[in-house]
Amino acid sequence: MNHPSNILVIGGTGKTGRKVVKGLKKQNQNVRVGARSHTPAFDWHDPATWPGALAGMDKVYIVYYPDLAVPGAYEAIKGLTEEAKKAGVKKVVLLSGKGEKEAERCEQVVAGSGLDYTLVRASWFNQNFSESFLMDPILAGYVALPMPDAKIPFVDTGDIADVVVKVLMDDAHNGKTYTVTGPRAITFEEAVTEIAASTGKEIKYKPVSLDDYSAMMKSAGLPADYIWLIDYLFREVLGKPENQEISDDVEKVLGRKARDFSEYARETAGTGVWTPPVSVL
C-alpha cells in the first residue's frame, strides 16, 4: 500500500490550484495550501516564507502569480527550486504558459534542477471569462478586445487540474512536457457568442486595436504592471500561429477528451455568475 505524499500546492486558492487541492484530497494525499492567508504562509514576494511552506513536503505544484512572463519570475522560480532541493522535495510540477519565451526560461530552471519534474504548458483559460479580467465586460454586455482573428484553443482549468493531479501522482510522467489546450480553437467573438447563447443575454463583441485596448485599461485605472502583462500576452503570445494549435495532451494524460468551450459556457451560465440578480431599490 502506498503511503500518501505531502504535497504543497502553491496558489492553492487560485483558478487551477484550488481544483488541484480538491483532486489530491480525493486521493487521500496530505495537502498544504501555499498562500499568504494560510499557515504556514507562502508569499512569492517574501522568500523568508518559502522554507516554512516547503518543510516536510515531498512534491510541489508551482504556479507563479501573475505570470511567468513578468520581470522577476525567473529569479523567483530559481530561488524556490533551490529551496525545494534544500527541503528534500523530490518532485515539482510547473504550470507554464503556451508559447511564452520567458516561461520557457523558467521551465529550463526546473528541468535542470536535478529534481523529478513535469512541465504543464497551458493555453488561455476558459475561466478568464468568469473568474478574471473578462468577467466584467461579459456582465456589462460589451466586450472590446484586440486580436479578432486569433483563434485560441481555450482550455478549462478543470482539465489543467486533472492533468496536474495525474502527473503529480504518477511517476511515468516524470521528465515530460505537456501542452494542454481545449479541443478546438475559437476567436474572441465566437467565445462571446457562445456565452451570449448560453445566458440568453445580448453580449456584443467589438474588435479594437491593441493600442486602444491598452489606453482603455489605463483610463480604467488598472496598474501599470497589469497593463504590461495583458499587452504582452496579446502581442507576443496570442498572435503567433503556433499558439493557436490544438494539442491532444489532455486526452493523452487523462484518457478522455478535453472539455469543450461550449460545455464550459453552458455549465457556467447555469451557475448564474453571468446573470447576477437585479437589485430592487
Determine, yes or no, domain membership for 270: no
Domain count of the fold of the chain: 1
- Domain hosting 100: range is 6-125+155-181+245-258
The answer to whether the beta carbons of residues 87 and 115 sit under 8 Å apart is no
Determine, yes or no, domain membership for 206: no
Q: What pLDDT does residue 236 have?
A: 86
10 Cβ contact list (under 8 Å, min separation 6) = 17, 34, 42, 53, 60, 61, 62, 63, 64
CATH number of the domain at 15, please: 3.40.50.720
Determine, yes or no, domain membership for 230: no
Residue type, 237: V
Determine, yes or no, domain membership for 25: yes
Determine, yes or no, domain membership for 268: no
List the chain pLDDT tens, one digit each, 281 residues. Answer: 468 999 999 999 999 999 999 999 999 999 999 999 999 999 999 999 999 999 999 999 999 999 999 999 999 999 999 999 999 999 999 999 988 888 999 999 999 999 999 999 999 999 999 999 999 999 999 999 999 999 999 999 999 999 999 999 999 999 999 999 999 999 999 999 999 999 999 999 999 999 999 999 999 898 999 899 999 999 888 878 888 899 999 999 999 999 999 999 999 999 999 997 665 55
Q: What pLDDT does residue 280 have?
A: 54
Determine, yes or no, domain membership for 113: yes
Determine, yes or no, domain membership for 76: yes
The answer to whether the beta carbons of residues 238 and 151 sit under 8 Å apart is no
Q: What pLDDT does residue 279 have?
A: 56
Determine, yes or no, domain membership for 274: no
Q: What pLDDT does residue 278 have?
A: 61
Cα–Cα distance for residue pair 217/150, rounded to 1 Å? 20
The answer to whether the beta carbons of residues 12 and 34 sit under 8 Å apart is yes
Cα–Cα distance for residue pair 248/92, rounded to 1 Å? 23
Q: What pLDDT does residue 179 have?
A: 97
